[in-house]
Structure 1
């Protein structure tokens, strides 16, 4: 009786359509990181939908939904910009797997933001177009949305291959689109701009890190601490300048409010808190990279 050779069955290649499931990696395996981020992307939409169903959005629920989707579009857009700094500082390469998902989510919430505005205008498209053309903050927001759609439409692997270096040039527009979104956020907030000031401070923090990277400045914990402090100070100055120009409030009063902790914590302090995550993460990484005391590298150990 002859013995037949046995070989372990090879792992089946993933089905072509499996890569389109957002919680799978490129090999078709479940990625817990992608699954967690996917659920986080869905959570705000589910929360807004449930609140609407329970009539918990106040007297103007559609207006609340418009504001909610716009705010989350801004948050997810900034989250996508935060992936590269966190990936490098934390030495966590797998974070790159969720950057595209965050960007596409920002686009989806921004589209929902516009659709809800159309609903609020009773589907009067003529009025919607005229409002976008005549009201500057709507014009700015619409231009940003068009840019987001362009980035989302070219975020596929096929588009990356076909566009070559032009893909990188196009996707650098993400910074300009973020600026447009923040300006739109400021102009529609009108009275209380604490939220747009905070998110602008986060954007300044992220762009500050990119400037450090471009000029090859040290990314050690002390340098990242200075970056966090600088972003917080710029945020405080931005808030004072906005209130001074928009409502005539003396800049000194706004700046002094940052040192008054009897009321709400000002955006600059929240930006500092977010910024401190970078030096703390870098410090933790430096400890991990340091060889343990008494442990001798095999290459340096004395020969027997």
Structure 2
């Protein structure tokens, strides 16, 4: 009897480790999972404290609910793109453990998207009929709601039992994440209307991630990965500049030529330049490996025998 009572707390601790976000599947503490979990909750904790007034009454501006709604949507897009970036980063770094946090990061993106919608409902005084009417009448809201429905489908099937039950169909369904990213970026840009610098930057990162899945991408065994990473960065930057030019040329009436010229100026901080810098940064990893291999002294030949 005493032995069973002593074993029971250990069983509880084992179950807790199984559900803990900072333990791996073997129940061992994982620094990577712990860091990913901290990254996931810190923006939400900051926003919750700001809404509670912990950072002062003007931490979120004159319209705190609206600002928190904007920031949760922005973090949903950021975490979605981060989840899509984990596979290219795993191929670049050779660090297979990055796959362990992909589900956590994806569910974090869904949580912020759900909070984004929830704050919008609160902003509309919880009038659900009004919310539904706004979604039907406003294109950018309809696009954002479609992205949220896609998020719900992915979150509902992001568990081991669903993965086993769906088999190969699970992977097909979760390719919807790319469509969700497109819808989320369109929702963001249409909401911003004139100042689309931040949506354009996120679009450029998404373009880089998509380019990594093409013929110039990061499939294992292909030579010169640093050159292919730089090629992806250059193409993504060009796509960013072109997209921002077309946006202003067709939708806003702002001087699109001047905006394009600013994007082509490497001294500026326009979205295309930022995309080029961020997307090219991972090239340092294979480049560093190549430099180390060249600097390593070659082994001396063994002395010939029988002379």
TM-score (norm 2): 0.87
Distance 2:285 2:262 in 1: 30
Counterpart of 1:5 in structure 2 is: none
List per-residue Cα deviations over 1:205-244 (Å, max 9, x = no partner): 0000011349886552112111111111111111111111
Distance 2:29 2:192 in 1: 41
Counterpart of 2:62 in structure 1 is: 59
Residues 289 and 150 of structure 1: is their aligned pair in 2 closer, same or farther, counting only changes over 3 Å?
farther
Counterpart of 2:151 in structure 1 is: 148
Counterpart of 2:251 in structure 1 is: 246
Q: What are the equivalent positions in structure 2 for 1:26-37 lying under 5 Å apart?
A: 26-37=25-36
Residues 167 and 219 of structure 1: is their aligned pair in 2 closer, same or farther, counting only changes over 3 Å?
farther
Q: What are the equivalent positions in structure 2 for 1:90-239 lying under 5 Å apart?
A: 90-212=93-215, 213=217, 218=223, 220-239=225-244
Contact map agreement 2:76 2:110 (CA 8 A) in 1: yes
Counterpart of 1:79 in structure 2 is: 82
Q: What are the equivalent positions in structure 2 for 1:12-27 lying under 5 Å apart?
A: 15-27=14-26
RMSD: 2.3
Counterpart of 2:283 in structure 1 is: 279
Distance 1:97 1:44 in 2: 21
Contact map agreement 2:88 2:218 (CA 8 A) in 1: no
Q: Which secondary structure does the structure 2 equivalent of 1:211 belong to? A: coil
Residues 174 and 302 of structure 1: is their aligned pair in 2 closer, same or farther, counting only changes over 3 Å?
farther
Counterpart of 2:6 in structure 1 is: none
Q: Which secondary structure does the structure 1 equivalent of 2:103 belong to? A: helix
Distance 2:148 2:106 in 1: 12
Distance 1:223 1:254 in 2: 28
Contact map agreement 1:90 1:285 (CA 8 A) in 2: no
List per-residue Cα deviations over 1:115-164 (Å, max 9, x = no partner): 00010000000101111122111111111111111111111111111111
Q: Which moved more, 1:247-256 or 1:111-120?
A: 247-256
Q: Which moved more, 1:276-285 or 1:84-93?
A: 276-285
Distance 1:288 1:164 in 2: 43
Distance 1:219 1:182 in 2: 32
Counterpart of 1:292 in structure 2 is: 296
Distance 2:265 2:281 in 1: 24
Distance 1:30 1:134 in 2: 49
Q: Which moved more, 1:63-72 or 1:154-163?
A: 154-163
Counterpart of 2:42 in structure 1 is: 43
Distance 2:131 2:265 in 1: 43
Residues 303 and 25 of structure 1: is their aligned pair in 2 closer, same or farther, counting only changes over 3 Å?
farther
List per-residue Cα deviations over 1:189-220 (Å, max 9, x = no partner): 11210000000000000000011349886552
